[in-house]
Structure 1
Amino acid sequence: MNREEALNCVKEQLTEHRYTHTLGVMSAAISLAERFGADVKKAEIAAIFHDYAKFRPKEEMKGIIQKEQMNPLLLEYSPELWHAPVG
């Protein structure tokens, strides 16, 4: 998935304010990856999708955490934090 496809996918799920935030996070992630020699494309995609699930129902996120066999300790934290790993 290229940048444009990822941004289009994410834009459908976010408010305009959250989408603008995501663009800023993406820019910062690219700069930091370049500065510290990390994989720029991975940083870019991670930044784009970090809030993808922000407005999804908590039960849906819980189900994804369980289905994808993510670390079960995630469920011990506030559901407000689930959106990043789920995204």
Structure 2
Amino acid sequence: MLIRKLIIGILSFYAVEVKRASLKNTKTTPIQVERELELEIVKKREAKKQKTRLYDKRKWKKKQRFIEPAFKIKGTNPKDVRFSNQQKIRRMFRNS
């Protein structure tokens, strides 16, 4: 009973691996690889556009920077708008 389950498990694992290998080998044509790279580039551009669009819709003046970004300490600025409460703080002080 145990041997039968073991053999079935090994055969099914082998069948899955063969199927994965055959799927990976189908993308070897240079045209398909080039298309995939173009799609990745387009996705990155769209994400960048979305982020810049969020920053362009400001209703307040852009803060003047007195410290050059090259001299800033790494890791002091938020990496994304989702992780910052800066807009909430500004709104709080603007409305008071």
Task: Pick 1 or 2: higher relative contact order, CA cutoff 8 A, min separation 6.
Answer: 1
TM norm structure 1: 0.27
